[in-house]
Amino acid sequence: MVPLSSRLVSPIWYKLLIAVWGRGKSDMAFVALKKDQLIAAVWGRMFSTKNKGHGFVNNHTPEISMAVLSEYRNQGIGKNMLQLIEQAYVKQGIKTLSLSVNCRNKAKKLYERSGYNIYRIEKTAVTMLKIIAQKNIKAIVVNAFKKYNLMYVVFNCYGYSWSFKYVL
């Protein structure tokens, strides 16, 4: 198992999203590795009105989070990670995804280009929402990961058939 880098996940996010990982069937994560180095991760979880994440919308919309090491940004990796998790949630019958981002975070533009729309603004945090639909993006994503000589690994806690591993 690859240890989670503190450069990717802050203690607050660790407590909220990872510490109790696997309790819900919507818990899933993808990581991108380059020569056994964790360079990016995207993960999602369904929250409830009693246990809200920062980007909570409703009880039927998983909230996703993503981190990409700074030296690997602006290379299409974040876009591909978003597409991977979106496709996985589509396979579970999920219709919408949400996320929370600081309004000054450069990733906000990536989310907007990827089809996420502003749902709510609270102080400096923007909650964004995307309606996801069935897509055939797997080949595009695999080709992009080949281009960058990366490996991605999918974790899915409840054994859905979408779990797979792609190794270069």
Confidence (pLDDT) at 141:
46
Question: 3-class SS at 138?
Answer: helix
Find, among 105, 140, 147, 143, the residue nearest to 126 by Cα: 105
Confidence (pLDDT) at 120:
92
Instruction: Copy the structure tokens of residue 81.
Output: 């990670």
H or E stretch at 88:
helix 77-91
Burial class (CB in 10 A: 0-12, 13-18, 19+), 132: middle
Confidence (pLDDT) at 5:
52
Q: State residue 107 phi and psi, 5-degree precision.
A: -65, -20
Q: Which residues pair with 101 in a beta bridge?
A: 126
Find, among 6, 4, 17, the residue nearest to 100 by Cα: 17
Confidence (pLDDT) at 81:
92
Q: Which pTM was predicted?
A: 0.73
| Tens-level pLDDT at each residue, the chain (168 residues) | 344 455 555 555 555 555 666 777 888 888 888 887 889 989 898 888 887 878 899 999 999 999 999 999 999 999 999 999 998 899 888 999 999 999 999 999 999 999 999 999 999 999 999 999 755 444 444 444 555 555 544 443 333 333 333 333
Give the CA-trace dihedral at 128, 96, 135, 103, to 10 degrees: 10
